[in-house]
Structure 1
């Protein structure tokens, strides 16, 4: 490695912590390709933003020298960069080799293990049952017909407990149903990715819809981008499965998709894929098929990069934005949806692509149903920051 090398840091979580009594930062791979958490001293973290492929090692050395007020040997910079590369946190040949092995291990798993048990929810079946039952007690809605399309949050279950309760208390669907799940792929770089594996929960194993999967892949020959490694740690589907398995036992199958960012759907090369995808999905919609969206809505405040704290007045605007978005989703034209949502970029709504696919699907089926918002909330999530969630359903 010479002085002209320009390191590129991968997208990683940088978490302040303490190690052996000293302030440090932890580097964590949110996708799960790298399983180890790496400890980085606080006094070198300032170098990470410079590892952007534009600055070489001399640039890093100059910045370090300015920071410490004395010459930092180039060898020290090389040592830091080599360490990050060895651990798989830089884009490099070494990372590609690590990634290849990680995919090999991931694809060999017979089912998707729980990624968030013991943190987001209990691991044991008995404790998980009490945990979910306590949440479901937060509301007692009328026992009306379950919605064909359900919107539920994917925020931390404890923080969003009321919204989860409002959604899943209304989702007592018949035995033998198929549930198509659209979950936000926070780290997915594709339009979507289906998971073909069964999924583990504290209650056992939830079966994948093999019939639906074969129909899409073999009969319709749809590009499904199966089993992207983003499924490994993503929580947006996992949290829905937890509630479903508790409520429905083993009497249902799932067809789970992670959905990538909306910007991908603006690309010309994606449009034909989307058209075929929606056409194929529309042919799966029948009396025993239901759809769940595991999505959150607006993310605002300092935690999410905004230069302001969210006021009570602004929260009213957030909730009105979410209402308007649902009206557009269920009753708007697809072209209008895209045009309007372009204006919503500052709101940082992570469920837009899932909502767009539902809008396309309803327009394709020419279905005219009715939607109902069961519950809305802007949940405090960090100093002056909020995440808005919605519990809603669509009947047809």
Structure 2
């Protein structure tokens, strides 16, 4: 007999993408937490059924709801098979998923470190090959004079190295001395999937170049400030999120054999603030910022923001971009960059919120948090680029690098 939660299926926050499968428009359903390595491909026509997997509709009534919505016959057995397949792939929020999630979280915490998720896929797993790759990016852009070691922050992209290598090389060369002088590094990156505003971890991040030590005493202090449950509710997202990993590689490359303690922080979506709410009134942010300021007041800290900028075009559900559209995007990005350069957290958020984040700026949460933390800081733009995001080059991810003094 099915439990009440199985009778009223509730879809988790998952990754849904349009694909062509066997020549038919389809939807690819994947678990961003990778609790299971399974994924589902369903007909696009079944997409509306996912809307009714909200924990409020009995599975026996979903077919009828679809018939009313679509005006076509819908087989109840088909809906049941879909719900069962979602359950098998751990895509439903139910007891079965929560038990498997608890086991995965226990394995993550018990491991000696968080292994690199992208090594061997997005960049070389061999340390010597990886260093040669980053050396090549440096050589391609030429030498960049480093900023003073007293600098306080860095904004780095987290796009793949193949597309963003030149921007990475420019900003990390400019930031080299401040990064080497740091006694502690706050790694603040975009959480692309978790609904949690802030997520901490006590686990250590590893890359092919070594293991970065996490200062667990600082993590404990931050968790005490915002609450243990709130701090670690989305912790398993650290296991699969790429934003911190891609900057951690550059941090280790620049520092060489002198790792310093880091604090890995993921910052989640600001969609909750796009209807007029002010993130400055969120008590979790205020508690976290207050606690972090105490830390950076007593040690030479560098804040590293891992965030890309705009995501526009068909790859992100928008219209194809012409050359004129790309130039207009550059001008829109410049408005955002101007507020970052001024160290203006409130203005940075406002210029994005005024458009409802039409440009899909994924670096919004970590950059806002870092600007609030650094306070009264000035930024220097080191590089800007628009990277193609589809084969037709009608979609774009824009990125930039910046150092803060």
- Whether TM-score is above 0.5 comes out as yes
Change (3 A) 1:334 1:245: closer
Aligned to 2:148: 145
Match of residue 160, structure 2, among 149, 156, 172: 156
* CA distance in structure 1 between the aligned counterparts of 2:286 and 2:14, rounded to whole angstroms: 33
Give 2:316's aligned residue.
304
Shift of the alpha carbon at 1:341? 2.7
| Distance of 1:210 and 1:73 partners within structure 2 | 53
1:329 is displaced (CA, Å) by 3.2
Q: How does 1:215-230 map to 2 (within 5 A)?
A: 215-217=221-223, 221-223=225-227, 225-226=231-232, 228-230=235-237
Once the two structures are TM-superposed, the CA of residue 73 in structure 1 deviates from its matched residue by 5.2
Question: In the alignment, which of 315, 330, 344 is matched to residue 319 of structure 1?
Answer: 330
In 2, Cα distance between equivalents of 1:214 and 1:280: 11
What TM-score do you get using the length of structure 2 for normalisation? 0.82
Match of 1:167 in 2: 171
Q: Is the 8 A contact 1:299 1:349 kept in 2?
A: yes
Where structure 2 has 5 or more consecutive residues not aligned to the other structure, the ranges are none
The residue number in structure 2 matching 1:291 is 303
Offset at residue 72 of structure 1 (A): 6.6
Residue 37 of structure 1: how far off its partner (Å)? 1.9
Say whether 1:390 aligns with 2:400: yes
Aligned to 1:192: 198
After TM superposition, the structure 1 = structure 2 runs for residues 118-129 of structure 1, keeping only pairs within 5 Å, are 118-129=120-131
Distance 2:86 2:289 in 1: 42
Shift, 1:17, TM fit: 7.2
* Alignment partner, residue 385 of structure 2: 377
1: distance between equivalents of 2:216 and 2:155? 24
Q: How many residues align?
A: 384
- Residue 13 of structure 1 corresponds to which residue in structure 2? 15
C-alpha distance in structure 1 between counterparts of 2:256 and 2:374, whole Å: 29
Q: How does 1:58-73 map to 2 (within 5 A)?
A: 58-60=61-63
Alpha-carbon distance in 2 for matches of 1:292, 1:185: 15
From 353, 358, 364, the counterpart of 1:342: 353
Cα distance, 1:298–1:214 mapped onto 2, change above 3 Å: same
Q: Structure 1: 5+ residue runs without aligned partners?
A: none
The 3 A distance-change label for structure 1 pair 269 and 149 is closer
TM-score of the superposition, structure 1-length normalised?
A: 0.84
Farther off after superposition, 204-213 or 375-384: 204-213
Aligned ranges for residues 36-185 of structure 1 at < 5 Å? 36-40=37-41, 42=43, 46=47, 48-53=49-54, 56-60=59-63, 74-140=76-142, 141-145=144-148, 147-172=151-176, 173-174=179-180, 177-185=183-191
Q: Secondary structure at the match of 1:347?
A: coil
Structure 1 residue 264 displacement after superposition: 4.6
Picking from 223, 243, 250, the partner of 1:243 is 250
Q: Could you say which residue in structure 1 is the equivalent of 2:241? A: 234
Per the alignment, residue 279 of structure 1 pairs with: 290
Q: Name 2:372's counterpart in structure 1.
A: 360
- The question of whether the paired residues in 2 share the 8 Å contact of 1:31 and 1:233 is answered with yes
SS where residue 241 of structure 1 aligns? helix
Q: C-alpha displacement at 1:210, in angstroms?
A: 3.7
Contact 2:36 2:89 in 1 (8 A): no
Greater shift, 331-340 or 58-67, is seen at 58-67
Residues in 1 aligned to 2:343 and 2:333: alpha-carbon distance in whole angstroms: 14
Residues 316-335 of structure 1, C-alpha deviation per residue, up to 9 Å, x if partnerless?
23222223223323536554
Q: Flag the 1:196–1:270 CA change in 2: closer, same or farther, 3 A.
A: farther
